[in-house]
Amino acid sequence: MNNTKITVKNLDLMIGKHHILKDINTSIPEKKITVIMGPSGCGKTTLLKSFNRLTDLYPEVRLNGQIMIDGKDVLHTREDITKIRKKMGLLAQRPYPLPMNIYNNIAYGLRISGRKRKVWLSKRVEFYLKQVSLWEEVKDRLKEPAARLSIGQQQRLCLARGLAVEPEIILADEPTSSLDPISSQAIEEKFIELKQRYSIVLVTHILRQAKRIADHVIFMYLGRIVEQGPAEEIFNNPKKEITMSYLKGKFY
Amino acid sequence: MKQILKVRQLGLDRYLKAKLHAGWMMACLVLVMLLPFILGVGLLLKSEMLIRDHSLLDLIFSKEWKPLSGEFGFYPFIVSSLWVTAAALLIAGPVCLLTAIHLTQYAKKYVLRIMHPVIDILAGIPSVIYGVWGILVIVPWISNYLGPFFGKTTSGYTILAGAIVLAIMIIPFILNILIEIFRNVPDELSEASLALGATRWQTIKFVLLKKSTPGIISTFGLGISRAFGETIAVLMVVGNVAIVPDGLFQPGYPLPALIANNYGEMLSIPSYDSALMFAALILFVVVIVFNLFARALIIRTDKHN
């Protein structure tokens, strides 16, 4: 039986007077790829960002309900938020390399958690760049600004930087939407490989991508979860009208 | 051939009109672009008499300002200007940086919405009002409290008074640009850093400030060129004594004040007119150099990103 990594109970999110997420209840299985699907603006990204409380960054956001990670409620915990965030690697819609060189982009997360030994850092940097198959491409230019890499390389760098802090969960927000097909494929393949060790939550509106890699699917519409379950079930016989028409590509 | 085709396409009437309008717009553009050159050359020609009689090094580094005996040493004025500008920037810089960080990173959105017009109002207050405020508030404060606190007897009309007034005048100017710079750093970049387990402050220090460093430097560059040329408010509180100041509690006599105080009054003294033009030329060159430096930095970083 699957273990549950993240459980969300009665989650509501408001930005000012706008009700963005409405009564979200779901659970995300461990070491699987969970795909959150739905048309643009339905709250997928917001849900993802509330998992590691990036919503704290915006003072006008109000959250109600519970988000349990490994049984601990992250919204009402006294634990240091940075520790909770370190459990979750984030991959954004577009790569946002930090304004520093390639090496430091990976080493940054390690340094801020207090690891300073150079030899150890170099080894880790190499290890994680190899993990995302970037090492061969960048090993001679580690001191160059990360912004000089191609978009596809940058996205893999961002993945490596996230893995370097040894998370348990990967939160990916349409990670391939700005990439070319080959780079997208590289990321998808990486995810399938990574789910051995990580629980992956992937937001996407690319239906084919969802079908290729999803184990578990959450379908959202207008801030609510319409339907959720194992991927085969949702794709083969959806129960709700809305899910069915979305899967047939009737609306966007 | 081309013109004939154009005339056919547009009709002669439209063709001529377009030509005419393009013409005068071009003339305006050229005029605006030439203005700085005309100014520079004009100042150079006017100060030529002084430069012919004295060596340039003498003019800039001599401390003797005795126009009646034909000695024109600009050193006290240049040093005063540098003191006032540097001190003003030292006061305004941290205040602006911290305010901009708070407004863009910590405060709720509506605070920034309220602050924006406030900053614009501050920027729009005529400088003479800042000057009067300086005389009524800052000068007595320095003479009665701050001076004695540091064991100095002073009238209050000091470099420090000029610097404080100047700092307050350039704060809105610098602050506005800094806010714009920080707002242009994408939220996702901060999110990326936070998601790696960084604290808010680490994120600000290593990501936001790092990303904005060139912008911050060029903003301060623009601030300096602004402060360097500010005249009336500084003139009212700085004391205007032609000695080389050696501290904040000494009076000074910045270049713009020299020009504003004397032009049109003491022109019976030979070469005086030319000397003031030379002061203007120094001012002009310094401000242009700082402006170019700041803009070059902005352009360079734009290319980088």
Shortest distance, CA B103 to any CA of chain A (angstroms): 12
For chain B, residues with pLDDT lower than 50 are none
**Which residues of B are less than 8 Å from A74 in CB distance?**
none
Here the tokens at position B146 are: 């701050």
Q: B21 in the Ramachandran plot: left (φ > 0), alpha (ψ -120 to 50) or beta?
A: alpha
**Which residues of B are less than 8 Å from A145 in CB distance?**
304
For chain A, residues with pLDDT lower than 50 are 1
In sequence order, the β-bridge partners of residue B252 are B239
CATH of domain A4-99+167-247: 3.40.50.300
ipTM: 0.87
pLDDT digits (tens, 9 = 90+) for A224-235: 888 888 888 888
Shortest distance, CA A214 to any CA of chain B (angstroms): 24
Kind of pairing between the strands at A199-203 and A33-37: parallel
| Per-residue pLDDT at B177 | 92
**Which residues of A are less than 8 Å from B305 in CB distance?**
147
Contact A54 B194 (CB under 8 A): yes
Q: Domain map of chain A by residue range?
A: 4-99+167-247
Which residue of B194, B207, B211 is in closest CB contact with A85? B194
Q: Decide if A85 touches B, using CB distance below 8 A.
A: yes
In sequence order, the β-bridge partners of residue A9 are A66
Contact criterion met (CB below 8 Å) for A146 and A153: no
Contact A113 B207 (CB under 8 A): no
Shortest distance, CA B305 to any CA of chain A (angstroms): 7
**Which residues of B are less than 8 Å from A90 in CB distance?**
191-192, 195
Contact criterion met (CB below 8 Å) for A22 and A223: yes
Shortest distance, CA A169 to any CA of chain B (angstroms): 11
Instruction: Please give the Cα distance from A28 to B114 (Å, whole number).
Output: 42
Half-sphere exposure of B75 (CA within 13 A, CB side): 16
Q: Which of B197, B212, B189, B187 is nearest to A108 (CA)?
A: B197
B190 contact partners, CB below 8 Å, separation of at least 6: A57, B105, B203, B207, B208
In sequence order, the β-bridge partners of residue B54 are none
Q: How many CB atoms lie within 10 A of CB B223?
A: 27
Find which of B193, B196, B301 to mutate to test the A interface (most A CBs within 10 Å of its CB).
B196
**Which residues of B are less than 8 Å from A110 in CB distance?**
none
In order of A151, B8, B21, B31, the CA distances from B17 in angstroms are 48, 14, 6, 21
Q: Decide if A59 touches B, using CB distance below 8 A.
A: yes
**Which residues of B are less than 8 Å from A88 in CB distance?**
195
**Which residues of A are less than 8 Å from B109 in CB distance?**
59-60
A142 contact partners, CB below 8 Å, separation of at least 6: A101, A102, A103, A125
Distance in Å from the first CA to the final CA of chain A: 35
Q: 């030899």: which residue's tokens? A: A119
**Which residues of B are less than 8 Å from A165 in CB distance?**
196-197
| Per-residue pLDDT at B178 | 93
Shortest distance, CA B114 to any CA of chain A (angstroms): 16
Contact criterion met (CB below 8 Å) for A203 and A36: yes
Which residue of A54, A86, A108 is in closest CB contact with B191? A54
Contact criterion met (CB below 8 Å) for B252 and B241: yes
Which residue of A54, A112, A165 is in closest CB contact with B202? A112
Contact A92 B188 (CB under 8 A): yes
Instruction: Please give the Cα distance from A58 to A60 (Å, whole number).
Output: 6
DSSP state of B252: B
Contact A82 B198 (CB under 8 A): yes
Which residue of A52, A60, A96 is in closest CB contact with B188? A96
Contact A82 B190 (CB under 8 A): no
**Which residues of A are less than 8 Å from B191 in CB distance?**
49, 54, 57, 90, 92, 96
Contact A85 B195 (CB under 8 A): yes
Instruction: Please give the Cα distance from B91 to B296 (Å, whole number).
Output: 25
For chains A and B, CB pairs below 8 A equal 78
Half-sphere exposure of A241 (CA within 13 A, CB side): 0
